[in-house]
């Protein structure tokens, strides 16, 4: 695989190798990709945990009766409220 890098990226890799941090360019690139993969996995894990917490709170709200039935009557009431607000703004 041949992947062109931006000048700044290539320069950073060269600096890392010349400083002795990495044996060669491949090692530097592999390390960067591995770090990105770990970061992505951590982001996904955090997103999954956040979703689990939202689901837990939603289930608790349903169990405790903190729900609104979003039927036609509900949406009609919302539309009426919007109409009243718009009417007061025009007046």
Task: Give the model confidence (pLDDT) of 9-44 as tens digits.
Answer: 999 999 999 999 999 999 999 999 999 999 999 999
Residue-wise burial string across 39-74, b where 16 or more C-beta atoms lie within 10 A, e elsewhere: eeeeeeeeeeeeeeeeeeeeeeeeeeeeeeeeeeee
| Lowest-confidence region among 4-8, 39-43, 50-54, 65-69 | 65-69
Q: Is residue 76 a part of any domain in this protein?
A: no
Longest dimension (CA), the chain: 74
- Whether 45 is covered by a domain: the verdict is yes
In a domain, 26, yes or no: yes
pTM: 0.61
Whether 42 maps to a domain, the answer reads yes
Residue 46 lies in a domain: yes
**Residue 75 domain-assigned?**
no
Residue 1 lies in a domain: no
Q: Domain tally for the chain? A: 1
């Amino acid at each position: 695989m041949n992947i062109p890098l931006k000048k700044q990226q290539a320069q950073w890799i060269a600096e890392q190798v010349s400083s002795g941090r990495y044996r060669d360019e491949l090692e530097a690139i592999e390390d960067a990709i591995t770090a990105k993969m770990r970061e992505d996995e951590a982001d996904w894990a955090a997103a999954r945990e956040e979703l689990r917490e939202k689901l837990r709170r939603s289930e608790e709200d349903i169990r405790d009766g903190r729900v609104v039935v979003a039927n036609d009557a509900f949406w009609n009431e919302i539309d009426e409220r919007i109409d009243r607000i718009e009417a007061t703004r025009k007046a």
